[in-house]
Amino acid sequence: MEYSPYDPWADIYDAVYSYVRSDIPFYAQQAMESGGPVLELGVGTGRIAIPTAELGIDVVGIDSSSAMLSKAREKLRSLREGAGSVELVHADMRDFDLRDANGAQRQFPLVTIPFRGFLALMTVEDQISALDSVRRHLSPGGRLAFNIFVPDPNMAFEQSDVPRHLNDVTDPVTGKSYVLYQQSRYNTHDQTVGIRMMIEELDDDNSVARKTYRNYTLRYCHRWEMHHLLVMRGFEIDDLLGDFDRSEFHADSTEMIWVARKR
């Protein structure tokens, strides 16, 4: 597989997103309810997969970035004895095909796409292909759980050339401090948002020791667009939640958390 645009993220991903924690208990609970094993698409550095395995659930994680998978393998060395297994596979969520030793299609009671990973699919064709791949890998009655952000109707008027402060974070492993800024450029015609992250690493006296830039693009989805995609590809909607505390989706929700069942 060729270079992934997420390869440059591997060395800094865990530090930058160390503040994103609220989704971990939700996906871990989904995994526990399913009994496992779980298939996670866009597993990255194992941010969700490793805590899930710590609960005794086996996880198979795929990602198109070999660099992110390498970082995940490093972290797996500290997985406690008796934890569930984590199998990492270099594959594309659009057209993956997992087989067992006898060549039969592997199936799972739960497939997850955490942290808005579905939005990395840039065309309707890619979205359909990914959902079809998911459905093939689900056991009868198996579930797909994933989250995406709710598009803000005011986003087209955002000043895309002005960086906004996103967060201050501390790497839990190294103790290094970072200040995060973000620029977002929306294209409402194509339903895409190009994001440039500016990451300032601070030294001991809070001066900027290094400035790093990382870019990525997402294709956002509206509520009923996502609903129709799921139904048309053979899923039944079990739940649409508005937060990881399992509260209902409502007019002011900023996140859509979908749980859909294979028909």
Asked if residue 209 and residue 108 are part of one domain, the reply reads: no
Asked if residue 249 and residue 120 are part of one domain, the reply reads: yes
Confidence band (pLDDT; 50, 70, 90) for 142?
A: very high
The pLDDT tens digits of the residues spanning 87-102 come to 999 999 999 999 999 9
Whether the pLDDT of residue 245 is over 90: the answer is: yes
Whether the pLDDT of residue 170 is over 70: the answer is: yes
Residue 2 lies in a domain: no
Asked if residue 124 and residue 92 are part of one domain, the reply reads: yes
Sign, Cα dihedral of 129, 131, 133, 135: negative
C-beta of residue 260 within 8 angstroms of C-beta of residue 238 = yes
Confidence band (pLDDT; 50, 70, 90) for 1?
A: low
**In whole numbers, what is the pLDDT of the chain averaged over residues?**
96
Structural domain tally of the chain? 2
Lowest mean pLDDT segment, chosen from 3-17, 23-37, 131-145: 3-17
Residue range(s) defining the domain that contains residue 172: 155-219
Asked if residue 16 and residue 97 are part of one domain, the reply reads: yes
Residue 235 lies in a domain: yes
Residue 88 lies in a domain: yes
Predicted structure pTM score? 0.96
Q: What is the SS3 assignment for 228?
A: helix
Please tell me the predicted confidence (pLDDT) of residue 159. 63
Q: Tell me, what CATH number does 15's domain have?
A: 3.40.50.150
The pLDDT tens digits of the residues spanning 41-76 come to 999 999 999 999 999 999 999 999 999 999 999 999
Residue 239 lies in a domain: yes
Q: What strand order describes the sheet that includes 164-170? A: 164-170, 177-187, 192-202, 208-219
Asked if residue 84 and residue 46 are part of one domain, the reply reads: yes
Asked if residue 176 and residue 54 are part of one domain, the reply reads: no
Distance CA 181, CA 172 (A): 20
Asked if residue 192 and residue 232 are part of one domain, the reply reads: no
Asked if residue 196 and residue 115 are part of one domain, the reply reads: no
Over its C-alpha atoms, the chain yields an Rg (Å, rounded) of 18
**Percentage of the chain surpassing pLDDT 90?**
93
Whether the pLDDT of residue 241 is over 70: the answer is: yes
